[in-house]
Chains A and B, each alone.
Chain A
Amino acid sequence: MDLPNAETLVAHLADRIAPHVGAESALVGIHTGGAWLAQRLHQRLGMATPLGTLDISFYRDDFSRIGLHPQVKPSDIPFAVEGRDIILVDDVLYTGRTIRAAMNELFDYGRPSAIRLAVLIDRGGRELPVCPDFVGERIALPRHQNIQLTLEAGHGFVLSLQSPSAQVDA
C-alpha cells in the first residue's frame, strides 16, 4: 500500500486547526508519536500557551492484562486546565481507548471548557464513541495491520506499516 507523505499531512492538519486556535487554546500531545506531532503543530501554529504532553500509562484500561508500560514518562501540563480550550493531539486514531484514557487524565488536572481531537491518521476500527475534529487523512486498515509514525533524522516524519507480530496494541 502507498502511504501518504507524513510531512505533507502535518501541513494539512495544521491548516485545518489554525482557524480554530484562540488565546485560550492549548495543545496537548499524547506520548510518544502524538507528543512529537503536537510539538511540530505548536511551532507551526505559533501558539502562546506552552505545549502539554500526556503519558496515559497510569490510565490505561488494559493494565491488569499487560501491566505497566516499561518506559513511563512524566505527564507535563504546564498550564491551568480549568476553563481551557484543549486540542488533544495523537498520531494515529484506532480503537479510541487511548483518547478515553487521555481525557480521563486531563480531567484530573481540572475541568477544561472543551476538548477537541486532532489526529494525523484515522485508520478506522473504533471500539469507543470517539470522533476526531481534525484529521490529516483517513486510511482504512485491516485489524492485523498497524501504522506507525516515526521521526527520522534528515527525513522528518515518516509513516510506515508494521508487521503484525511486532505490534503490541494501538
Chain B
Amino acid sequence: MRNNPQINQHGELNHLLTLEGLPREILLHILDTAASFVGVAEREVKKVPLLRGKAIFNLFFEPSTRTRTTFEIAAKRLSADVLNLNIGASSQSKGETVLDTVDNLSAMHADMFIVRHAQSGAAHLIAQHVAPHIHVINAGDGRHAHPTQGLLDMYTIRHYKPDFGGLRVAIVGDLMHSRVARSEIHALNILGTREVRVIAPKTLIPSGVEGLGVQVYHNMAAGLAGVDVVIMLRLQHERMKGAILPSAQEYFKYYGLTPEKLAFCSHDAIVMHPGPMNRGVEIDSSVADGAQSVILPQVTFGIAVRMAVMSILASSGS
C-alpha cells in the first residue's frame, strides 16, 4: 500500500480520512483525549478556548442534519468559528466542481474542512488538494469510511468493555453500503478485538469482506452466539424492497434485533446503533430502549470524540 495520506512526515495525524491503517497509538490517543473532553459538557460553561479563532467549514455535499450538528457542537465547544455549507443544491448544479468549492473556501482562510460526500474517496481528493496547513475530516464518503463514527463506537465499547482482546463483536445489517461498518471493522482489528463477525443476507455482504478481517454469518442465531457487543446498521429505505431485499417485514423477521435474538448473545452484551434507527426494521423498540442499549451514550461520546479529533488535527504540524 502507498503512504498513508493522513499522516504527515512527523508521524502526526494531519487529516482523518479513514481508520484503515491508522497506527494503534494514534487511535488510542484520540480515545484518551476524548475522555478528557467528556467532562467539558457537564460544566457550567460547556466549552474550552482551544480552537479560538479557527475557522471550521462543515462542507456537506450530501445532506445530513444529525452528523453536521454533532460536528458543529464539537467545534463550538472548542470555541472555533463554524460555518455550515450545504453544497448539494447550489454549487454543484452550477457546474462547480468539488475542488472549485474547496479553493473558494480556502481563500476565505479556512483552517479545517469537515467533508461529507456521496462518493467514496471524496475526502481523500480534497485532502490531497488543500494547502498543508488545512486539515480535513471525513464525515462520511460514499460507502468508504466514516472514521469519527467508528472512533466513537470504539470509545463506547471501551467505556463498557475495556478489554478488546476478549471481545466478540457482531455487526449486523447492510454491510454492502455501510461506511460505518467499514470504519468499525478497521478500528476493531487495530484494537485487537478477539472476534469480529458480520451478519447479513448474501445480498448485503460485499465480496471479499473476509479480507478486512471478519467472519461472515448469514444466520442470527449462529452469528450472535456468545457475542459481547452487537452493532446494528441502518437499512436505507430504498433498499427495503427491490432486488436486494424482498421486504422490510421479512428482513425484520430474520435479521431484526428482537429480545429473542438478543438472548443469543452473552447475557451482558451491549447493543449499539449509529443512528438514525428504523424501529421495527433493523431493531425492535424494546431492545433499542432496553437496559442493554447504549445508543444514547454513543451520541454523547460522539461529541467528545469529534472534539478530540479536531484538536489533535489542529495541533499537527505545529
Are chains A and B touching in the complex at the 8 Å CB cutoff? yes
Check A63 against B50 for contact (C-beta < 8 Å): yes
B80 CB to closest chain A CB, in angstroms?
12
Question: Which of A63, A66, A75 sits near B36, CB closer than 8 Å?
Answer: A75
Near B by CB (< 8 A), chain A positions 84-110 give 104-105, 107-110
Knowing A66-B318, A67-B318, A70-B29, say if A108 contacts B36 (CB, 8 Å): no
Near A by CB (< 8 A), chain B positions 280-313 give 311-312
Q: Give every chain A residue within 8 A of B43 (Cβ-Cβ).
A: 108-109
Check B49 against A58 for contact (C-beta < 8 Å): yes
A161 interface residue, CB < 8 Å from B? no
Q: Give every chain A residue within 8 A of B318 (Cβ-Cβ).
A: 64-67
Most chain-B CB neighbours within 10 Å: which of A58, A81, A105, A107? A58
Check B44 against A58 for contact (C-beta < 8 Å): no
Among residues of B, the one whose C-beta sits closest to the C-beta of A60 is B50
A144 CB to closest chain B CB, in angstroms?
23
The CA of A58 and the CA of B314, in the complex, are separated in Å by 12
Among residues of B, the one whose C-beta sits closest to the C-beta of A70 is B29
User: 0/1 per residue, A61-85, Cβ < 8 Å to B?
Assistant: 0011111101111111000011000
A111 CB to closest chain B CB, in angstroms?
8
Check B315 against A67 for contact (C-beta < 8 Å): yes
Knowing A59-B49, A108-B43, A108-B44, say if A74 contacts B29 (CB, 8 Å): no
Q: Give every chain A residue within 8 A of B95 (Cβ-Cβ).
A: none
Check B48 against A63 for contact (C-beta < 8 Å): no
The CA of A59 and the CA of B35, in the complex, are separated in Å by 16
B265 CB to closest chain A CB, in angstroms?
31
The CA of A82 and the CA of B44, in the complex, are separated in Å by 10
Check B32 against A68 for contact (C-beta < 8 Å): no
Question: Which of A59, A70, A73 sits near B48, CB closer than 8 Å?
Answer: A59
Among residues of B, the one whose C-beta sits closest to the C-beta of A74 is B36
Check A55 against B36 for contact (C-beta < 8 Å): yes
Check A58 against B48 for contact (C-beta < 8 Å): yes
Check A110 against B44 for contact (C-beta < 8 Å): yes
Check B315 against A68 for contact (C-beta < 8 Å): yes
B1 interface residue, CB < 8 Å from A? no
A3 CB to closest chain B CB, in angstroms?
32
**CB<8 Å pairs between A and B, sample of 14:** A57-B36, A58-B40, A59-B50, A68-B311, A68-B315, A72-B33, A74-B39, A75-B39, A76-B39, A81-B44, A104-B49, A105-B48, A109-B44, A109-B45
Interface residues of A (CB under 8 A from B): 55, 57-59, 63-68, 70-76, 81-82, 104-105, 107-110
Closest 10 CB pairs of A and B: A67-B315, A108-B45, A58-B48, A68-B315, A67-B318, A74-B36, A72-B36, A58-B50, A110-B44, A109-B43
Give 10 new A-B contacts, CB below 8 A, not counting A57-B36, A59-B48.
A58-B49, A68-B314, A73-B36, A74-B35, A74-B36, A75-B36, A105-B48, A108-B43, A108-B44, A109-B44
